[in-house]
Amino acid sequence: MTTDCDAVIVGTGPAGSTVADVLTAAGWSVIMLEKGANRLLALEPPFQGLGDITNDEVKFVRRWFLGPDPFLEPRTYRRAETDGERLLTGEVNNLPSTVGGGGFHADGKLPRFREVDFHARSELGPIDGADIVDWPLDYDEMEPYYAAAENLIGVAGDHTGNPFASWRSNPYPMPPGPDMFCAIVTGEAAVGRGLHPYRAPTGANSVEYDGRPACNNCGFCAYFGCPIEAKGDPIAPLRNALRTGRCEIRPESYVVSVEVDGSGKVARGVRYLDVDGVEHEVRARHVVLGAGAFETPRLLLRSGIGNSSDNVGRYLMYHFQTYTLGLFPFRLHAYRGRAVTHLHDDFLVPDADALAAARSAGLPYFRGGIVEHGGAGFPLLEAVHTGPGVHHSRTMLHSPMRDHMGAFTIQGEDLPQRSNRIDLDPKIQDVWGSAAGRVTYEPHRHEIAASRHWAPILESVMKDAGATHAFSVTSPPLAGEPGADTPFMAPVSRHIMGTTRMGPDPRTSVCDPWQHLHDVDNVLVADSSVFPTSTGYGPTLTIVALALRAARALAGLPPLRSQRPAQPAGGVGPPPQPAPD
């Protein structure tokens, strides 16, 4: 078969760009297809920035500059099949539809998972109503890829700060950036309550790194993009790949289907539509899917491949987000700095009180997630939520919901459930004429019980920090609570995982342990679709580490190795794990 390239990569986010970097460095030719437009970097040498990334709330938040525009790419949502075909149409968990993908707008918190996260089933045990499984690899195997991912993106952090961290073979490549005032205030209060806040590992340069400048604290991170290239994800791997001369990026190219040969077991490439709607085919030895855990299963479903287990799109997971908000009598100016500079991991390791609360909720245990110490958003967001009338102008001057608001966000572990899924909407279409992706999702009672246990603790921390009022809300909102039957009913989390889970058994998983489809071996899923569980950590560093591992294996490169140190490198050593029951 004649081919156009060694590998065709669908999607240019953290997963696809990492694979492109590894494969082109190994001498492969790749073509990257991206449905969104290119706002990131020139595609000709010297691949400089385009000047489109700005501190502009109208452009990026209100007008969907990066896409997906909900008119062009609507998604639909329902909680359960009993809701009918859909409850809402529009924006559902939208990650940017643009060159750079989800890396473009993320604020770059890049924690590693912990050792137990790779074998929660074996160590912590099952929970009724969920399908908790071990990952087909462990932390020791992942460690060198985590280290390589941190070096590739450029992560600033303090390797001594987090007592819950698993072992690591190296310090972070950069020291942490400056602490945000709001996090200093809440961090001190958290320490007073026996919690362990630490400086968040962040993919924003604290010093010049890889030819890109240090972050200058402009604050427009999440939902925007970095105007000065201080954020390495995903510009660093894409630029590396382009510089080899063996990577071609085709923006505004919408992949319609993965094409297989007559046997159905070998992919020969993909078909895509260009910006004028003209159809093309790219033939390649390998097909790599890095479209994200929403779009990757949608592409497989419309292609009709990879689904002999009927698991494509299933086990959809987010992070169950609990926001604890505190109103302070002084200004926190959380619009300055890297959006979030401190985390604590205590809620990933339930203590005796948490285990008792779990048991009283009928669960053997529960886990929460990282807690982000941050502030509120920008003025337009505050204004829209303030409401009209004289009180609007008075309230905006005082700014209780922005400049005086501290915010904790728990990225709570979301257990895998087979009924939570992405499938194809029977009626709504995108601008290219394909069926829209539809989410069917309800949280497990584990997530709700964990949230209800830890939210009051965080409210106490907020008050210790000086807040006069503190309260908590969740996304998705729970039945009977504000927002439950409004357009805000869908989870707003952009952490989307699990829709083509990997595992050794083709009857219960979609991808094998090296992320190839069980059914079609030369299709590799590079993104968070393969996650068997969600843990309570942001997924991006693990996406990149897994993509490095899978891409190196694909290219025939030897696995990376690292050595577990004799003594734990972190501060006080890892706390004990809870007994499963």
Partner 1 sequence: MPIWFDEREYAVVRAAVDRLIPPFEDHPGAVACGATDYVDGLLGAFLVDPPRVFAGGPFSGRHGGDAGFARFTPLTKHQELAWRTRIEGSLGIPEREFNGPVVGLQERYRAGIAALGADFGDLDGNEQDHRLAAAPGFKTLLYEHACEGTYGAPEYGGNRDARAWAAIRFPGDIQPRGYTDEEVSGRD
Q: Which residues bind partner 1 (CB under 8 A)?
A: 37, 49, 51-59, 62-63, 65, 69, 71-72, 74, 89, 177-181, 184, 215-220, 227-228, 252, 275-276, 330-331, 333, 335-337, 378-380, 383-384, 387-390, 392-394, 396-397, 399, 402-403, 428-431, 433
- H or E element: which one contains 30? strand 30-33
User: Hey, which residues does 10 pair with through a beta bridge?
Assistant: 33, 289
Q: Indicate the residue among 16 and 187 with the shorter CB distance to partner 1.
A: 187
66-86 b/e (C-beta count within 10 Å ≥ 16 → b): bbbbeeebbbbbbbeeeeeeb
Least Å from the CB of residue 410 to partner 1: 24
Q: Indicate the residue among 54 and 360 with the shorter CB distance to partner 1.
A: 54
Q: Indicate the residue among 390 and 566 with the shorter CB distance to partner 1.
A: 390
φ, ψ for residue 174, nearest 5 deg: -135, 150
Q: Indicate the residue among 73 and 117 with the shorter CB distance to partner 1.
A: 73
Nearest of 467, 451, 188, 183 to residue 326 by alpha carbon: 467
Least Å from the CB of residue 506 to partner 1: 37
User: Hey, which residues does 41 pair with through a beta bridge?
Assistant: 49
Residues in CB range of 281: below 8 A, 6 or more apart? 259, 269, 270, 271, 272
Q: Indicate the residue among 227 and 513 with the shorter CB distance to partner 1.
A: 227
CA distances to 22, 244, 551 from 26, rounded to whole Å, are 6, 10, 10
Q: Indicate the residue among 37 and 355 with the shorter CB distance to partner 1.
A: 37
Least Å from the CB of residue 215 to partner 1: 8
* Total length of the chain: 581
Q: Indicate the residue among 71 and 471 with the shorter CB distance to partner 1.
A: 71
Q: Indicate the residue among 268 and 338 with the shorter CB distance to partner 1.
A: 338
Least Å from the CB of residue 391 to partner 1: 9
Calculate ∠ Cα 551-555-561, nearest 5°.
65
Least Å from the CB of residue 75 to partner 1: 12
What is the spatial distance between Cα 465 and Cα 233, in angstroms, rounded to a whole number?
Answer: 33
Q: Indicate the residue among 56 and 521 with the shorter CB distance to partner 1.
A: 56
Least Å from the CB of residue 271 to partner 1: 19
Residues in CB range of 393: below 8 A, 6 or more apart? none
Helix %, strand %, coil % of the chain (to 5): 25, 20, 55
Least Å from the CB of residue 403 to partner 1: 7
Contact between 94 and 75 under an 8 Å Cβ cutoff? The reply is yes
Calculate ∠ Cα 462-464-468, nearest 5°.
65
Nearest of 261, 282, 262 to residue 271 by alpha carbon: 282
Least Å from the CB of residue 490 to partner 1: 18
Nearest of 135, 305, 314, 336 to residue 217 by alpha carbon: 336
Contact between 26 and 292 under an 8 Å Cβ cutoff? The reply is no
Q: Indicate the residue among 209 and 531 with the shorter CB distance to partner 1.
A: 209
| Strand ranges (E), 476-569 | 523-525
Least Å from the CB of residue 379 to partner 1: 4
Q: Which amino acid is at 53?
A: I
Least Å from the CB of residue 435 to partner 1: 11
What is the spatial distance between Cα 293 and Cα 318, in angstroms, rounded to a whole number?
Answer: 10
DSSP label at residue 172: -
